Amino acid sequence: MESVVYPNHLGIIMDGNGRWAKKRGINRSLGHKAGADNLIKLLNYIYNNTSIKVVSLYAFSTENFKRDKNEVDYLMKLFVTLFNSKLESIKKNNVKVVFSGRRENLPKSVLEAMDKTTDDTKNNTRGILNICLNYGGDYEIVDMAKKIAKQVLDGTLNIEDITKEVVSKNLYQDLPPLDFVIRTSGEKRISNFMIYQSSYAEYDFPDTYFPDFDSKCLEESLDNYRKRDRRFGNAK
């Protein structure tokens, strides 16, 4: 029997919470809550029913701070709840949780919840959940360049020794390249999501808003991934 092919590293751009709420005539905050509730169900499905090892989530971009203050404040409180309680089932699935992004501008309560989650799951081995929070792919490259430049100035790294592996180790997280990225809601852009790690990633843009993107929708996207002929620049 032929084994089912899964991406090793799956990225999800969780888009459409606000439009999901607007369509129902309810507050945007309820859309974000519905998205968070759906996320837990989706992650439990992934880690219990697939062989996907790494999942990267685009939770909050650096540009999202430009949104209405009430919405941003609500999202920060939602993150605290998500990390402190809603992720418990993910932790029990032996998944290591890490974070990518800049810590500056994040409230103390969010930072404390992030640090506790990281510490609680640091020895887990089933897989990795990488949450991109206050994240921008361009900022990640800038911060990586600064880290490498400091090592060169400190004399701990020679310019000639800078390789792709060195670059990867100086990103927010040293993770394998993205294989497949799903952006929900039908928008066809990547919005600065893990641009260094996605050089050969495949993409899928389902029309479903994230709160409605369930395991059936995920499997449909994964079926699309399996139909792709990944050439990595080679002619076939």
Q: Is 94 labeled as catalytic in the residue annotation?
A: no
Q: Is 192 labeled as catalytic in the residue annotation?
A: no
**Known binder of ligand: residue 128?**
no
Single out the residue of 65, 74, 88, 93 nearest to residue 33, CA to CA.
Answer: 74
Starting at the earlier edge strand, list the strands of the sheet with 127-135.
95-100, 127-135, 54-61, 9-13, 180-183, 202-204
In a 13 Å sphere around the CA of 38, the CA atoms on its Cβ side amount to 24
**Known binder of ligand: residue 183?**
yes
**Known binder of ligand: residue 19?**
yes
**Known binder of ligand: residue 15?**
yes
Q: Please tell me which residue in 8, 27, 44, 64 is annotated as part of the active site.
A: 64
**Known binder of ligand: residue 25?**
no
Q: Please tell me which residue in 15, 38, 93, 179 is annotated as part of the active site.
A: 15
**Known binder of ligand: residue 83?**
no
Q: Are 58 and 11 in contact (CB under 8 A)?
A: yes
**Known binder of ligand: residue 190?**
yes
Task: Please tell me what DSSP assigns to residue 185.
Answer: T
**Known binder of ligand: residue 61?**
yes
| Phi and psi angles of residue 39, each rounded to the nearest 5 degrees, phi first | -60, -45
For residue 46, give Cα distances in angstroms to 39, 83, 231: 10, 18, 26
**Known binder of ligand: residue 16?**
yes
**Known binder of ligand: residue 202?**
yes
Helix (H) or strand (E) holding 54: strand 54-61
What amino acid positions are annotated as catalytic residues? 15, 64
Residue set of the binding site for Mg(2+) = 15, 202
Residue set of the binding site = 15-20, 28, 32, 61-63, 65, 67, 183, 189-191, 202
Residue set of the binding site for substrate = 16-20, 28, 32, 61-63, 65, 67, 183, 189-191
